Amino acid sequence: MLGGAVFAAVIAAIALGAYFEVSRITPQIGLGYQLAWPGYAVIFSGASLALIWDESWTLPLFVALAMLLPILMIFRMPTNAESFSSWVASTATGVYLGIPTFAAISLRQTIGDLEVGWASDLGAFFSISDESRALGMGWAMTAVAATWLSDTFALFVGRALGRTPLIPHISPRKTLEGAAGGVLGAVVATVGLTLLLGLPDVSVPLAIVFGVLLAVVGIGGDLTESFIKRSGGVKDSGTLIPGHGGVFDRVDALWPTLLVTWVIVQYLY
């Protein structure tokens, strides 16, 4: 439980920080004011539910809260186009960041062992309960590694070989060659972690498929954040990390990758 609790706290803090950064961009898009507090509540409730309860009804409860909490906004909002736009943006951003937050923490809480002894023992060490959550640790590590290596490979391959723009009206510097490098990096990560940690029921060909999927999803997340920033006319989502932008800049690809990894785990086990 200790490992899961620390992981949950970090994930929740990052998501809340990313929501705050988006709220600072929305006035520049023309919504008039920052995103409202129900978005924070959606993210926090998703993180709390995923950590505290590992039951089949937890996800439906979170979905219900994600839909109902934004309703509280309308009691203090005037009825005009600007209010409606802000309500939609607050709801959409809370859900966009909140669902992956729920999924990431739920992924880390997955019960089970890994097939490699030292990795399984390590996961069990950070599971202060009768049930080992080494499996969740292994998959969370795989998602993070796939995202990091995908970004790294995309950067270097794009700089060295990039010629063909990917989606120039959203991100002029991203290229098809860089995206291909990102796919390669994610595949290296998923195959490597599958073998290193012993992810059960995952063959090397299946790990390759997962790597391609995670890379594509991560690129989509990266482009989504670029779309938000370009719409607001800003270069970075924030200034928390000098020289690297804000929190959202660092996890734009990771959040959808964690979400899809959680879906994969639900399918496999």
pLDDT in tens, 53-95: 878 889 999 999 999 999 988 888 888 888 888 888 889 999 9
DSSP state of 36: P
User: Tens digit of pLDDT for each residue in 127-156?
Assistant: 666 688 999 999 999 999 999 999 999 999
Sketch the domain layout of the chain as residue ranges. Answer: 1-109, 111-269
User: What is the residue-wise DSSP string for 182-218?
Assistant: HHHHHHHHHHHHIIIII-TT--HHHHHHHHHHHHHHH
How high is the pLDDT of residue 230?
87
Q: What is the pLDDT of residues 3-29, one digit of tens each?
A: 678 899 999 999 999 999 998 888 887
CA distance 4 to 249: 24
Nearest by Cα to 142 from 196, 209, 183, 100: 196
Return the pLDDT at 32.
59
The pLDDT, as a whole number, for residue 1 is 46
* Gyration radius (Cα) of the chain, Å: 19
User: By the 8 A CB rule, do 253 and 18 touch?
Assistant: no
Backbone angles phi, psi at 253, to 5 degrees: -85, -30
Closest Cα partner for 91 from 75, 69, 76?
Answer: 69
pLDDT band at 189 (very low <50, low <70, confident <90, very high): very high
Q: Measure the CA–CA gap between 269 and 258, rounded to whole angstroms.
A: 16
One-letter identity of residue 252: D
Residues listed for the chain: 269
The partner residues of 124 in beta bridges, in order of sequence, read none
Secondary structure (3-state) at 112: strand
pLDDT 10s digits, 228-267:
988 888 887 877 766 667 899 989 999 999 999 999 999 9
Considering the chain, what is the average pLDDT of its residues?
Answer: 90
Confidence of residue 34 (pLDDT cuts 50, 70, 90): low
Whether residue 2 is predicted with pLDDT greater than 80 in this model: the reply is no
Among 8, 14, 199, 32, which residue's Cα sits nearest to residue 105?
8
Instruction: Look up residue 186 and give its two tokens.
Output: 């994610």
pLDDT value at residue 238: 73
- pTM tops 0.85, yes or no: yes
Which tokens hold the place of 142? Answer: 């795989």
